[in-house]
Structure 1
Amino acid sequence: MSSMKGLELSRAFWEDAVRPAIRETCPVLLPRLAAGLCGGGSDCLGYDDELSHDHGYAAGCMLFLAPEDAETHGFLLSALYDRLPREFLGVKTEHRSRQGNGRYGVKTTEQFLLEQTGLFHTPETWREWMAIPSYALAAACAGEIFYDGSGDMTGIRETLRTGMPEDVRVKKIAGHAVLMAQSGQYNVSRCRRHGEESAARLACCEFVNHTLAMLFLLNERHMPFYKWAFRAAKELLKLSELIPTLEALLREPDEDTIERVSAVVIEELRAQGLTDGGWDFLEPHAYAVMRRIRNPEIAALHIMEV
């Protein structure tokens, strides 16, 4: 079996097997399709290793068509994909490709969006942006498009990556700020005074989770599935230095450490012009952040809504 990472294997399969077959059989489709590997999975994040190969490791790629092109050319492209070799570089290929039935093969751009976001289109309203979980947006933006003849998939993923309205980002920041205050600055010590150490540890985990979400939002990034949140956070341009501290909090909750983390986050909120208060407690900063929201409907949402 190959030791190649999933993205590397998928790109090689496209370059050496799929694209030559399309060029030979139906070259007219090349300007109309995109090819890549994107969505959920450690391979799309570049985090896969030998252990990851015990499930879902196969040679394959995704071929994307616009819905109108899929009606005309989808069957032909699926049939071509299914005639490809059953093994590539010593790795078995997956051939469940009929119009998106399976991870690899032919999909419409609408199918990709529906699988990742629950919508047939990129988000168009602030409500749609608020409703899509961060991990879903992160998955939709993960991976790589190897080739894009029409530019459609590149545009879709760029919209998902950078198109979140600023008021939505700010609202989510406010929500995570108040939840950091509630879980970490308030409830860890309070649970301990009640003699509820297990509850204190659970509250600390909540604090760490909301802090991670905050770090991604302050970096204008989508936080991936919790399994990979810490690893991805280490790659953030801002505040990644907090990650070892958050890891330590998971091992042993510490109230002074929670306050130090909160102080660093407050300083970044000030640096981004989201608050100018001098409080040590995050809750009043959360309300200050809410006051930066211009859209009255978003500003009227409950502060804890994220």
Structure 2
Amino acid sequence: MKWGDLVVFIQGIELCKRFQFEFVEPIIANHFPNLSYTSALIGPGSEVLGYDTEMSTDHDWGPRVILLLQGNDMYLIKDILQILHINRPQQFYGYPVDLNQTVITSLAQFLVSKLAIDIDKGIELLDWLTFPSQILAEIIGGEVFRDDTGHLTAIRKQLQFYPHDIWLYTMASIWNRIGQEEHLVLRAGYVGDELGSSIIGSRIVRDIMNLCFLMERKYAPYPKWFGTAFKKLDCANELLPVLIKVQSSGTWREREDALCRAYELLAQMHNRLGITEVMTEQVSPFFDRPYKVIQGGAFANAIVRQIIDPIIRKLSQIRLIGGIDQISDNTDFKSINQWSSVEQSEGRNIARALYNKILE
């Protein structure tokens, strides 16, 4: 089916909700009347975050749910799949039904596949730094249609956002990145390297956007939906035109002016959080050079002083490298939690092993 064939488009989350209540739930109630289970639309897929369009229907999209069984009911997976296959319609609201997209597992196995943790053993603070924000957004996004045990609802509440000290550490790390590169965009332009200046400017724009997500306590999605999600932030009305100006500037001086305005708005946002002493909201010279910067390192240091947990505080004093999203832009590396147990042998994954190494 081509994405343009349907006249009426149904958002994926609504389609899957209907699929649960009109097809899956009656079938399970009839054949497994005493089964306690959870049904949801979570995990990968643009429809989970609400960004799907007609074009999304051309692959990995359609009526589906994730069914989570209790551990002692896992033996029923094949039977449930068989019953669903026997009774499935060819189409549901005009969309083909592919039950290969319906996953049946346990909550524990689902979380291991996504976060590489045994949830029964709890989540340590360092673990949070190994969770890609996209994966966290996929777990708390979407919708839970049925949750007989309440376990998924409880986990989603627990993962709603970073613990306070992790929040502080990740924000400090991005401020530190800005402090390390804010003068480079100007230095490159000063020597006639407009392309290099523009590239560094784009890196800073991305850091600013990531910092805004953190300030508004939202998980940033991966690149395809990064700008789309940013538009929904409270700060976007004022900040987005400024960041577009940074991206479109033809000279480093124009870029500097736009960045300075962005820095000042960012500093105002920081002060409204009330997490540190009041910081200057005005740019200032970079030493004796003719460049204006916000002194991102000063913001990072002020935030670090507020971290209480001894391990996270120690990490922040040794290396402000941030979480996995700041460490790597590589999609495969960010999917490290879904690698084999061999790669996860130290600290559940390579990213955790890195933090452990720094803390030695």
- TM-score scaled by length of structure 1: 0.89
Could you tell me how far apart the structure 1 residues matched to 2:71 and 2:248 are? 49
Displacement of 1:80: 2.4
2:312 alignment partner AA: I
The letter for the 1-side match of 2:305 is: R
One-letter amino acid matched to 1:179: R
Query: Residue 224 of structure 1 corresponds to which residue in structure 2?
Result: 221
2:80 partner amino acid: L
Q: Which amino acid aligns with 1:81?
A: L
Runs (4+) of structure 1 exceeding 6 A deviation are none
Q: What is the root-mean-square deviation in Å for CA atoms of aligned residues?
A: 2.0
- Inter-CA distance 256–77: structure 2 relative to 1 (3 Å threshold): same
Aligned positions, number: 295
CA distance in 2, matches of 1:244, 1:149: 46
Match of 1:289 in 2: 303
Q: Which amino acid aligns with 1:257?
A: A
* 1:173-252 pair list within 5 angstroms: 173-183=171-181, 185-238=182-235, 241-252=238-249
Pick from 79, 82, 98: which aligns with 1:79?
Answer: 82
| Aligned partner (choices 11, 16, 26) of residue 17 of structure 2 | 11
Q: CA deviation at 1:147?
A: 1.4
Do the aligned residues in 2 keep the contact of 1:81 with 1:105 (CA within 8 Å)? no
Kindly provide the amino acid, as one letter, of the partner of residue 299 in structure 2.
Answer: H
**CA shift digits 1:88-108 (9 cap, x unpaired):** 122111222xxxxxx423121
Larger deviation: 126-135 or 80-89? 80-89
Does 209-218 or 229-238 show the bigger shift?
229-238
Distance 1:304 1:194, change over 3 A: farther
Q: Which residue of 1 aligns with 2:62?
A: 58
1:118 deviation in Å? 2.6
Helix, strand or coil at the partner of 2:183 = helix
> Is the counterpart of residue 273 in structure 1 residue 290 in structure 2?
no
The answer to whether structure 1 residue 24 and structure 2 residue 23 are counterparts is no
Query: Aligned in 2, Cα 1:261/1:226: closer, same or farther, shift over 3 Å?
Result: same
Residue 116 (str. 1) matches residue 133 (str. 2): no
Q: Which runs of 5+ in 2 are unaligned?
A: 1-5, 284-293, 324-360
The match for 1:106 is 104
Q: Aligned partners of 1:187, 1:237: CA distance in 2, in Å?
A: 29
> Which segment drifts farther, 208-217 or 105-114?
105-114
1:129 corresponds to which residue?
Answer: 128
* 1:239, distance to aligned residue in structure 2 (A): 5.4
Query: Mind listing any 5+ residue stretches in structure 1 that lack a counterpart?
Result: 97-102
What TM-score, normalized by structure 2, do the two folds share? Answer: 0.76
Aligned to 1:99: none
- 1:100 matched to which residue of 2? none
Q: 2:104, 2:130 → 1: CA distance?
A: 28
What SS class does the counterpart of residue 143 from structure 2 fall into? strand
SS at match of 2:38: strand
